[in-house]
Amino acid sequence: MFNRSARAERRQEDQMKLYWCPHTRSFSILWLMEEAGLPYERVLVDIHAGEQRKETYLSINPMGKVPALVDGETVVAEQGAICAYVADRYPESGLAPRIDEPSRGRYLEWLFFAGSCIEPAFMEKVSGWEVKPTMSGWGNYDRVVAALERALAQGPWVLGERFSAADIMIGSGVHFGLAFGMLDKKPVFTAYEERLVARPAFQRAHEIDEAGAVERVKAS
C-alpha cells in the first residue's frame, strides 16, 4: 500500500492520504506521488458505488470528485492544485522550479493550462460545442492543440531538459487525449507520451492503478 522509496521516515498515521479510484483522473496524482517518492497511503473512493457523494468524502472534496489529498491538517483537491502543493511542500522531490527561477513562470502556466484549457477543449471536441474563441477562456480546441504542439516541439519535457509536475498535468492530458481519440496521433504527441510512459514512476502508478481496478471489482 505504501510507496517503495520512503525517503522521509514518517509514522503511518502521519502519512499523506490520497483519495483515489482506479481508471480515473486520480491516476495523475498516483503518478505524482510515485515521482515524488514520498510515503503515502491510498484510500479508495469507489465512485461507481457512489462513495464520492457521502458526507464524509464531501467534507474532503465538496465537488465529490477524486483525487483529493490530505497531509496532516492540509486538505487539497483538484489535480493541478495537488501537484502544486506536493511539489512546493516537498521541494526535495525536485518536481518544481524554485520560486525565483525563470522557468517558474512557464511551470505555473502549464500546470494551470491543463485544467483551464485542455479539459474544456476536450469537452468541446467530444460534445461538438461551437465556441467563440475570443470569448471562451480556453480559446478553442484548435488553439489549445496548437499551443500544446508548440510547447512540446523541443522537448523532452514541457520545460525543456527538466521534468516537472507540469509534465504530469500536461502529460496526463496528452495521454488520455490520445487514448480516447481527443488528440490526433501526431508524432509530437506520441513521442512525448512514449517518454512519459517509459518513466519508472509512471509504470509503478500504472501497475498500482490496474491492481486497484481488479481489487475494486472483486470487492464490489
With a CB cutoff of 8 Å and minimum separation 6, the contacts of 85 are 69, 71, 74, 76
Of the pair 47, 96, the CB lying nearest ligand GSH is at 47
Cis peptide before 67 (omega within 30 of 0): yes
Q: Report in angstroms how near the CB of residue 139 gets to ligand GSH at its nearest.
A: 19
Q: Report in angstroms how near the CB of residue 32 gets to ligand GSH at its nearest.
A: 12
In angstroms, the CA 182 to CA 198 distance is 22
| Nearest CA among 84, 48, 39 for reference residue 66 | 48
Of the pair 64, 156, the CB lying nearest ligand GSH is at 64
Of the pair 7, 48, the CB lying nearest ligand GSH is at 48
**Is residue 208 within 8 Å of residue 42, measured between CB atoms?**
yes
In angstroms, the CA 109 to CA 106 distance is 5
| Nearest CA among 165, 151, 153, 157 for reference residue 201 | 165
Q: Is 120 left (phi over 0), alpha (psi -120 to 50) or beta?
A: alpha
Maximal CA-CA distance, the chain: 52
Of the pair 140, 172, the CB lying nearest ligand GSH is at 172
In angstroms, the CA 148 to CA 159 distance is 12
Q: Report in angstroms how near the CB of residue 86 gets to ligand GSH at its nearest.
A: 14
- Residue least distant from ligand GSH (Cβ): 65
Q: Report in angstroms how near the CB of residue 67 gets to ligand GSH at its nearest.
A: 6
Of the pair 25, 125, the CB lying nearest ligand GSH is at 25
* C-alpha cell, 164: 516537472
**Is residue 141 within 8 Å of residue 125, measured between CB atoms?**
yes
Q: Report in angstroms how near the CB of residue 85 gets to ligand GSH at its nearest.
A: 12
Q: Report in angstroms how near the CB of residue 21 gets to ligand GSH at its nearest.
A: 7
Of the pair 48, 150, the CB lying nearest ligand GSH is at 48
Binding stretches for ligand GSH (CB under 6 A): 24-25, 47, 52, 64-67, 78-79, 115
